[in-house]
Amino acid sequence: MAKDTFFRKKATINARGKLIDLDTPKVMGIINITPDSFYAGSRKTGIDEALQQAEKMIAEGATFLDIGAYSSRPGAADISAEEETNRLLPVVEAIAKNFRDAVVSIDTFRAGVAEAAIKAGAHIINDISGGELDGNMFTTVARLQVPYILMHMKGTPQNMQQQAHYDDVFNEVYSYFLKKIYALNQAGVHDVIIDPGFGFAKKAEHSYGLMKRMEEFERLQLPVLAGISRKKMIYGLLGTTAENALNGTTALNTIALMKGANILRVHDVKEAVEAVRIFMTVNNLS
């Protein structure tokens, strides 16, 4: 990634008073309080397991912990907002109490769930639907004044793979971001992170097409999150499984860093942190 680019990307976010510099890429560890997330290694069934995973990820160098209680894998079962909240809040409260320096992101598309989690101690809202599945999301984020991760997806987790049709995937995703960023700015949201939504309503060729051109998102002048960890775009290409896709994930995370990613959202923090360290060492050589 060129150091002297014409477009100057926003490099700092304010997570409830915690200023985080994204000029050096950061790692976000995934903790799923679900029984059916696509990668079994990410599933934590209760507070104790979630706390153990949080402690491990923080020790390995995670800046963010992304906690979700609604599985968004293709075809996953829909659950009620009440069930999502009941799974999520005890874990958020426990992590906020036991790891006061942790920056917690909440993976939800429901404004009410997001607000409850922020009040319980979380810092960031990570919305796979870009506000499409809850019309109150943007105004809620603006009122709470927390960073918002804006992801591209079409449809819902239940039907998104039937909507993986594009004439030009990059330009369609880019146009989507332009429209959504304008709406967020109008609502009064100040810290936005964009996520191309690899694998969400996208076939492997769409996801790789986005990766090839990912540095062009620099024109939006916002931080970029890459969420590719152990996904089908990797294990399907390599003829393996999610459980055996760590090497492929590290390779693609490294490419994402070279393409301008500011945050790597991963199941395996240690390996991602090492990739960032190597990338920064090379990138900082004169």
Residues marked as catalytic: 231, 265
Bridge partner residues of 122 (DSSP): none
Q: CA 192, CA 284: separation in Å to the nearest integer?
A: 26
Q: Which amino acid is at 123?
A: H
End-to-end CA distance of the chain: 13
CB of 196 closer than 8 Å to CB of 214: yes
**Ramachandran bin of 61, using left for φ above 0, alpha for ψ from -120 to 50, beta for the remaining angles:** left
Q: Which amino acid is at 201?
A: A
Calculate ∠ Cα 218-124-157, nearest 5°.
80
Q: Which amino acid is at 14?
A: N
Question: Phi and psi at residue 26, in whole multiples of 5°?
Answer: -115, 160
